[in-house]
Structure 1
Amino acid sequence: MNIVSRIPTDRDSSLVMAKVYEEPRKIPYWEQGLISLWFLNSFVPLPLETPLRYLMVLWFLWLFALHKEQVIPIMLKAWPLFLLPIFGLISVLWSPYMGAALRSGALYLLTPFVAVIIITRFDISTILRCMFFAGVMAIIVCVPFYDTMPYGGPYPQKNYFAQQMLFVALLSFMTLLNEKSWPWTRMLAALIFPIALIFMLRAPSATALVFAAVGIVGLFAVKFVWVAISKVRHLRTIIFILGASVILSGAMIVLNQTNQTYLTDFLGALGKDTTFTGRTHIWAAGNLAAQEHPIFGLGLEGFWNPANGAAQSINEMDFKPYGTKLTFHNAYLEVRVHLGYIGLGLYLLLWAWCGYRLFRQFFKESSLEMSALLVFGAIVFISTLTESFAWASFNTPLNLLYLGALATLSPIRRVFVSRVPVYLNSPAGYAKT
């Protein structure tokens, strides 16, 4: 109970109006262990990865059957997450590879479905803690691959490996800064944080390095600056508006300098060129493919298939073996090629909803958890411009994005019941009702 007011009644007692809360259910450790295993399955390739994933999906379906009264209302509130996967599943009707499209469509639809079930059964603090534990286990799995980390280690490509280690580093740093974390988990985070950074640096990904610097500075600033200034009314809003004004003014100045080479210089400092390591050639091929079916697209799995000559031509340009399944290194182009302008519109709606939720939660609570979720969402959003990870199924970026946007919809929290009168009969606070 939280005492909010005290009314004197006589010399020896007082009438106090107290708030009564219903405490959330305690989450069993075995459930937390299973969720950590689920996140590990998306963090790093494991032996028997696919059978384990299907078994976990069956468990989530069982949870849905048991708790559908709680899950369905949250699904209805999170409807923008489901429109694009549903349209993708419908695209089976015109995809040239119906079997592969049906499987991909089911996985795309299950991804937000599982996220809703997780947020129904767990609060966001527990979810982030389980993700941190999954990251710790991923570090252990990656240790034997130390020599091959510059080529991706256990992952098919180095960029994805660097991004996964980036998320482990930021989850560790957030746990280290969070005073609400268990003491032993903060000690573990202090150990894992530098190891994750070292592993990330082993893969020569300048993008991950920039994200790491921005993420660490952002979390540090929220912990020691943002929370402090939140005590001054309207100061955060003023700072946000001033910051946005500075960014927009800087962008206008740069864009008006027609002979500027800022982008080239910046990319050069990161070890890149203006083709973004050959991505512009793949983007050009993707634009040509998208123009063939501009409204509905080719359908899921309609482009990246060994039987598709255009896809194999890109493999040859990228010096990849025949049959390698590549991506367009751009989530928006990926959606546009496979699901056309209708799919692209639904994807932009999904991002608008997630962005609105992340910013709303951040300004409403400004806790370290909400700040970290906003940082993760920003990283995933920026990655959509050069990678296709955010248009996939059951991976770490999507877990962080969807669960972050759903964070405050979790019913696992302390709930206010009512105010009740309480008599205090002694200075020590002995109470009777």
Structure 2
Amino acid sequence: MRIAKSHLVDPERNQFYGIAAVALSFFIFAYSTRFGQISILAYYAVWFPLVLVDYRRALGNYLRYVWLFAFAIFCFLSSFWSMAPSVSLRASIQYLTHVICALIAMRVLAPRTLALGGVVGCAAVLLYSLLFGRYLYDVLDGSYSFVGAFSSKNQLGFFASLGILFSYGAVMIFRERGLWFIGTLMAGLLSCYALMASKSATSVLTTLAVTGLSLVMQMSLYLAPRQRRVLFAVAIVFGGALVTASLQFGVMDAVLGAFGKDSTLTGRTYLWQQGILAASDTPWFGVGYQGYWVQGFAEAERLWNDFYIASRSGFHFHNTWIETMVETGALGTFTLALVLLTSLLGHLRRFLMLERSESALLFFAISALLLVRSFVEIDIIFSYQIGSFLLYLAAGKLTIAERQNLKLFPLRRPMPAYAVTQLG
């Protein structure tokens, strides 16, 4: 039986394959440490063969968009000065191939397909965790927490957050109805339950913030683009004043206290301090990609001992930017920030400039979630992680003109001429 190429690589016709590929990828990102190398090979087998099916559609011309590869290339180059060159070389090659898979997915997936695949994938991940999960002692919180089939409650909370976000996108943004509506509603409820069970303050607060922001932005779609931009400017001023007032009057401490945390974030601030001190020793280029947490290195061993990490692995500074500064220095941190901020601001610009853009709203919400979490978690700098996959997929969507998606998601009114000019 022959399968038409369009059913694999055409975003308008490959919904079945796309949903299955996204769901499988999410499950592998969650549990690759459990299922081993065979699961990573399955991940590659989902995306790389599409290059053989239609290399023009799957790859495009990435030479025009070097900024997408800037951080991955810098990580590879760091192998030449790394404190652990073999570790950095292997990890950087894995990260680079991971980025390529994400960009292939970006080329062949429609936003609606990604949302539905995300719903299915997150539901499968969370259901597996609820069926085979466990409680684990958290050295940062000093308490026992439900971590599912993960090693950290924050990872369980992250997938629950994404499950809620993709469920919101499928129902509220892309208006799914019928069986998809029922299935998405059930997946959303499952995600809410898993989020509460994880008791992850990071995940709960970021989910509420990003979902609330997405709802407000979606309501603003009924306004003209000019009015939308004015509303957004007012919201920035109001939000800044609210955050300042919260810090001034201790509201933030009260919120943290509700989750059993204090102003030190139960040990994170000490880790950040140690990370900043480590980064100051090699401020420009760092110690090499993944070249700090290596067994036998004195500082890594000391911190593992301080936080009772008997396995001497799987630990980090709980801050993406500090971790990146330590490993790749200021130059590497700049290239990573370039990708994340370009994705965030690029989709925001499309949302504010176009008459109506559902896909821009979805990718802005994903980028916003990754940005907020980056200050307390590590989601986007390692290979085979859902955060880095979504980061490059969202950023890569900026290389495709929005008008190419009009058949899937038509505007209510014709696109104004200035928007076409801006995106062209």
TM-score under structure 1 length normalisation:
0.81
Q: CA deviation at 1:354?
A: 1.5
Q: CA deviation at 1:168?
A: 1.0
Other-structure match for 1:183: 178
Residues 271/126 of structure 1: CA separation in 2 closer, same or farther (3 Å cut): same
In 2, Cα distance between equivalents of 1:285 and 1:330: 12
| Structure label with greater radius of gyration | 1
The one-letter amino acid paired with 2:100 is: F
Other-structure match for 1:337: 326
Q: CA deviation at 1:81?
A: 2.2
Q: CA deviation at 1:36?
A: 2.4
- 1:228-377 aligned at under 5 Å gives the runs 228=222, 230=223, 232=224, 234-250=226-242, 260-363=249-352, 364=354, 366-377=356-367
Residues 288/379 of structure 1: CA separation in 2 closer, same or farther (3 Å cut): same
Q: CA deviation at 1:44?
A: 4.1
In 2, Cα distance between equivalents of 1:107 and 1:172: 30
Aligned with 1:390: secondary structure? coil
Q: CA deviation at 1:66?
A: 4.4
Residues 45/172 of structure 1: CA separation in 2 closer, same or farther (3 Å cut): farther
The one-letter amino acid paired with 1:372 is: L
TM-score under structure 2 length normalisation:
0.82
The one-letter amino acid paired with 2:211 is: I
Q: CA deviation at 1:72?
A: 4.6
In 1, Cα distance between equivalents of 2:187 and 2:382: 28
Tell me if the contact between 1:104 and 1:301 (Cα under 8 Å) persists in the aligned partners: yes
Residues 106-144 of structure 1: per-residue CA shift (max 9 Å, x gap): 122123211211121221211221121111211321221
Q: CA deviation at 1:187?
A: 0.4
Aligned with 1:152: secondary structure? strand
Other-structure match for 1:382: 372
Count how many residue pairs are aligned between Structure 1 and Structure 2. Answer: 388
The one-letter amino acid paired with 1:280 is: T
Which 10-residue stretch deviates more, 261-270 or 82-91? 261-270
The one-letter amino acid paired with 2:119 is: F
RMSD: 2.8
Greater helix fraction, Structure 1 or Structure 2: 2
Other-structure match for 2:161: 166
Other-structure match for 2:67: 80
Runs (5+) with no aligned partner, structure 2: 1-9, 137-144, 409-424
Residues 13-41 of structure 1: per-residue CA shift (max 9 Å, x gap): xxxxxxxxxx9652163454233212221
Aligned with 2:69: secondary structure? helix
Q: Is 1:141 equivalent to 2:131 in the alignment?
A: no
Runs (5+) with no aligned partner, structure 1: 1-22, 417-433
Other-structure match for 2:422: none
Tell me if the contact between 2:129 and 2:150 (Cα under 8 Å) persists in the aligned partners: no
The one-letter amino acid paired with 1:99 is: S
In 2, Cα distance between equivalents of 1:69 and 1:125: 22
Q: CA deviation at 1:87?
A: 1.0
Tell me if the contact between 2:28 and 2:43 (Cα under 8 Å) persists in the aligned partners: no
The one-letter amino acid paired with 1:27 is: N
The one-letter amino acid paired with 1:216 is: T
Other-structure match for 1:115: 102
In 1, Cα distance between equivalents of 2:357 and 2:347: 12
Tell me if the contact between 2:207 and 2:369 (Cα under 8 Å) persists in the aligned partners: no
Identity of aligned residues (%): 19
In 2, Cα distance between equivalents of 1:249 and 1:219: 20
Aligned with 1:234: secondary structure? helix
Residues 251/205 of structure 1: CA separation in 2 closer, same or farther (3 Å cut): closer
Residues 144-193 of structure 1: per-residue CA shift (max 9 Å, x gap): 13553834111111111111111112212322324542521110111121
